[in-house]
Structure 1
Amino acid sequence: MASAAEQMAANISLANFAKATDLKKRLWFTLGALIVFRLLSYVPLPGLDPRALTTLFNTTRGGVLDFFNMFSGGSLERMSIIALGVMPYITASIVIQLASSMSPTLAALKKEGESGRKKLNQYTRYGTVLLCAVQGYFMAVGLESWGAGSGQSAVVDPGMMFRISAVISLVGGTMFLMWLGEQITSRGIGNGISLIIMAGIVASFPTSLAQLFEGGRTGSLQPVTIIMLIALATSLVLFICFVERAQRRILIQYPKRQTARGQIQQERSHLPLKVNTANVIPPIFASSLLLMPLTIAQFAGTQQTGESAWGDFVIQLTQWLQHGAPLYMLLYGAGIIFFTFFYVSVVFNPEETADNLKKHGGFIPGIRPGKRTEEYLDYVLTRITVIGAAYLTIICLVPEYLIARAGIPFYLGGTSLLIVVNVTMDTVTQIQSHLLAHQYGDLIKKAKLKGGTIRR
């Protein structure tokens, strides 16, 4: 028999949605914030020649910059003020989380509650500014010398003033996106940073589909290949939805208690452990760490390409890290596996969970409370995480490898689909939660009115 929550979820309709004014405000705010993000992607850095920039970027297509351009929603291709996107913020978050797991001082801050979280967020912001300044400077230097060998430059007036203005603009753009993401999280629906990343990816889908069908029209791609690619993308979406809903439910039993009617009742519940507890965080973390040094190296190496050993090394490095290349696959896969286990260890603490169960009298049948429960939870979680890490690695790497070998644009790859599907599912879940809360609020109001009538 369905529970009350499930029955109410089934009764959610457009009429209930129309009455949820707070939810509508949140949705409109989220939509408006994402529109602002898309508009900013068309605001170029000062001192650039758009035509020369487009010509130069077309000469580097197919490299690592295309992948970075996808996550920024085309901002890198247009060299807008948000060309760096939110990747510096994500990278700084990774560094702070890693440091908090190794530094006793930062670990103590995590245990201080809200005040400690605010301090860690402040450190993350400082790290974001530093990373943006470093990446922005090398990007400005690379833009000045980009295409200098062919007599074409994207910078109208190279010099220190251009570098300073570019760094200030890029730092300001990324910090604004970070603030915008926080506002979406608090005043909108869903995780703001994830929604910004998803919006950038979705913005690239029409172009990718147009290129795909244009390849079929010109004959560069066979119709069978296009059909197989669409079928692969559809299968991936269904498979992602299935695994993201999968759980390992651990039975939790509580001592018998006597009810008001004198009956003895034994309570049972379940501790749900998702197969993919880390969600979409590992691919985002792995890609951000992989892209940041490559972006710096590629832009910094353009001024010496072909003239020094450093320039030759940059060319060789970008070739090694092409999509489908063995080194890229190895580093990306290793990063996904590492961050899957790392993030799960951060969000789920078996020792804390075992202590909470013991305090409330709960226990796992056949397992002693305390240390044995902690070891059992850690054992189960490790096995589940192995499956989750394998799932994320296969989803992200196999389609990228196949698409790269087939010579098809990789915007429809596993990483982008994983991010889009996960963020969409999370946002829809939050919308349903708001609708359920609204319905419960209506029921409580009606019950109070009826109660008042009876007392009269």
Structure 2
Amino acid sequence: MLRAFRDAFRIPELQRKFLFTLLLLAIYRLGSTIPTPGVDHTRIAEAAGSAGSLLSLISNISGGNLSQFSIFALGVLPYITASIIMQILTTSIPALEKLQKEGEEGRKAIAQYTRYGAIALGAMQALFFAILVGEAQNGAFLASGWEPGWMFRLNVVLTQVAGIAFTLWIGERITEVGIGNGVSLIIFSGIAASFPKAISDIITLYNEEAISLLGIVAFFLVILAVVIGIVLVLQAERRIPIQYARKEIGGKQYAKQQTYLPIKLNGAGVIPVIFASAVMTIVQVLEQAFGQDSEVTRFLVKYFALNTPTGIALDVLLVVGFTFLYNSIQFDPKRIAENLRESGGFIPSVRPGVATAEYLSFISTRITLWGAIFLGILVLVPQVLQATSGISGSTVFVFSGTGLLILVGVALDTLKQVEAQLTLRSYDGFISKGRLRGRL
């Protein structure tokens, strides 16, 4: 693998792609340090640092940008949400489904609608945070000289919408000109940037004798086990054999061809975890809305807080449910069976048509169950880390299963793109050793 990177940097075109990607990511990280005008970023950082708070949860999902309420505080979260909504609408609205089948032009139109949706969602989220920051603790989060009101809210909304648009532009340029998926790399850089501070906090706790050396060792052993498990699951897939009948094209006879249909063990990726986090965020929004002394707030804190058994169980159930929901939308056995029949393909020992659809549905359901269980286990990682090591607070959530899943998934996807670039140029760095293959 290291030899492959060495070979990649010897190719001028790939050098330019790597440098261009790093430059845009550096610009993004620079913007993440610029606070939104009118906000006291010091007090915001203190609120976001308290484990279990609303700002803490969203800050960890956004890669830490919200901890300073920077101009990129929302980052690509609105775009991710808009993309998920558009995927669901594409499968349920015939006009969008027809547009998607129109090739490159249709995909460009859907991508444009997704951008519009991201801007609209970002504006609504920015307005919510502007109201939350402006009204919380009698304006304690406002910078000197600023007053809560519509002028402050308009300032926050315009700043955040501009930040979202610029972030999307960076992501698209990386995808088109650089290496890897731009949006994924932006999320990757945000989470990775939180690691040095988290490690520094662990060292501080050890120096203060708040945790033991054995606890730190257990902490990183759990993380290592989680990373290995993520790699194995992300690479795992079920390959269903597909055969095509003998064909005659242009007077030539073509023999039977055999290929396979891959079904990934974790086809939903991190999307169910993001959905579940959004629902748990709504619970915390209700806590903020009803106040600390109301009966509703006490009930929510008692049964639905993230550190309670019922709250953890609800989070896991939401992840499992959203995994099945998302896979049912993305994987359509009937459509695949029809496409196979039209192209002359079939699964050995399975009749074409309805029987093929039922067989694919059965296989997909079984695989989705194991993928959902895996994601549910990742949700429990922060609690396992806290119980085994004694480390608590935001440091645990930096190394949570969600963050590690994003990091490992983006790293593997980027390495596969580098592998493809090297293969095109007859370099065998990844091919001879350590190629990123799917596992049966």
Same fold (TM over 0.5): yes
Deviations 1:118-149 (A, max 9, x none): 33333333332222222222322222233338
Is residue 156 from structure 1 mapped to residue 145 from structure 2 by the alignment? yes
Deviations 1:351-373 (A, max 9, x none): 33333433443322211223322
- Measure, in 2, the Cα distance between the counterparts of 1:50 and 1:347: 40
Aligned to 1:146: 136
Pairing 1:225-236 to 2, within 5 Å after superposition: 225-236=215-226
Match of 2:405 among 402, 408, 418: 418
Pairing 1:399-438 to 2, within 5 Å after superposition: 399-405=381-387, 406-408=390-392, 409-438=396-425
Aligned to 1:454: none
CA contact (8 A) 2:54 2:285 kept: no
Q: 1:143 to 1:18 in 2, by over 3 A?
A: closer
- Measure, in 1, the Cα distance between the counterparts of 2:239 and 2:48: 50
Is residue 34 from structure 1 mapped to residue 16 from structure 2 by the alignment? no
Task: Report the AA paired with residue 428 of structure 1.
Answer: L
- Measure, in 2, the Cα distance between the counterparts of 1:271 and 1:385: 16
Is residue 340 from structure 1 mapped to residue 309 from structure 2 by the alignment? no
Task: Report the AA paired with residue 114 of structure 1.
Answer: E
Task: Report the AA paired with residue 126 of structure 1.
Answer: Y
Any idea what SS the aligned residue of 2:13 has?
helix
Match of 1:137 among 116, 127, 139: 127
- Measure, in 2, the Cα distance between the counterparts of 1:416 and 1:54: 20
The number of residue pairs the alignment matches comes to 419
Task: Report the AA paired with residue 426 of structure 1.
Answer: D
Task: Report the AA paired with residue 28 of structure 1.
Answer: L
- Measure, in 1, the Cα distance between the counterparts of 2:127 and 2:302: 24
Q: TM-score of the superposition, structure 1-length normalised? A: 0.81
Q: CA deviation at 1:190?
A: 2.0
Pairing 1:129-208 to 2, within 5 Å after superposition: 129-148=119-138, 153-154=142-143, 156-158=145-147, 159-208=149-198
Structure 1 vs Structure 2 CA RMSD: 3.2
Q: CA deviation at 1:283?
A: 2.1
Q: Structure 1, unaligned stretches of length 5 or more?
A: 1-9, 442-456
Q: CA deviation at 1:332?
A: 2.9
- Measure, in 2, the Cα distance between the counterparts of 1:100 and 1:255: 32
Any idea what SS the aligned residue of 2:156 has?
helix
Percentage identity across aligned positions? Answer: 37
Any idea what SS the aligned residue of 2:193 has?
helix
- Measure, in 2, the Cα distance between the counterparts of 1:14 and 1:75: 30
- Measure, in 2, the Cα distance between the counterparts of 1:68 and 1:208: 17
Between Structure 1 and Structure 2, whose CA radius of gyration is higher?
A: 1
Q: 1:220 to 1:18 in 2, by over 3 A?
A: closer
Q: 1:155 to 1:102 in 2, by over 3 A?
A: farther
Task: Report the AA paired with residue 326 of structure 2.
Answer: Y
- Measure, in 1, the Cα distance between the counterparts of 2:153 and 2:177: 36
Q: CA deviation at 1:333?
A: 2.3
Q: CA deviation at 1:321?
A: 5.0
Q: 1:228 to 1:56 in 2, by over 3 A?
A: closer
CA contact (8 A) 1:89 1:124 kept: yes
Match of 1:239 among 229, 245, 248: 229
- Measure, in 2, the Cα distance between the counterparts of 1:55 and 1:11: 41
Match of 1:384 among 355, 358, 367: 367
Task: Report the AA paired with residue 421 of structure 1.
Answer: V
Is residue 355 from structure 1 mapped to residue 346 from structure 2 by the alignment? no
